[in-house]
Amino acid sequence: MSYEFKPIDEEAKSGKKFILSMINRGGYRVEIMGCWIGKFKMEEYSDCVDGDDCDEKDGVYYAPEGWYEIVQSHDEYTYLQADGDVTHYAPVPKVVLQ
């Protein structure tokens, strides 16, 4: 299956799930399922750590704005910060099972 990848634009940062193409820290191009999480959009369920956005008044901690890989088979975490430079995206195709 081939995908129609487009360079990152405003649509890519809409928060919808896409197939993301990125260069990982090892310098390899990889594709992941992921999305853009905007500032103050995803609450963290732990204490504030470096890079988190903290709302000290309300005591709410938020994940940093950026690209996240969506991991749907892992029990503890469902979003992991993308570890690389996301450069392109493609819509997730609809799967039809027969």
Q: Taking the model in full, what pTM does it have?
A: 0.80
At 5-63, the pLDDT tens digits run 999 999 999 999 999 999 999 999 999 999 999 987 887 766 655 555 666 667 678 88
How many CB atoms sit inside 10 A of residue 29's CB?
A: 12
In a domain, 28, yes or no: yes
Q: Which domain holds residue 42?
A: 6-91
Query: What is the model's pLDDT at position 43?
Result: 79
Q: How many residues does the chain have?
A: 98
At 69-94, the pLDDT tens digits run 998 876 666 788 899 999 999 999 88
In a domain, 1, yes or no: no
In a domain, 11, yes or no: yes
| Contact status, residue 15 vs residue 79, Cβ threshold 8 Å | no
In a domain, 41, yes or no: yes
How far apart (Å, rounded) are the C-alpha atoms in residues 7 and 13?
Answer: 11
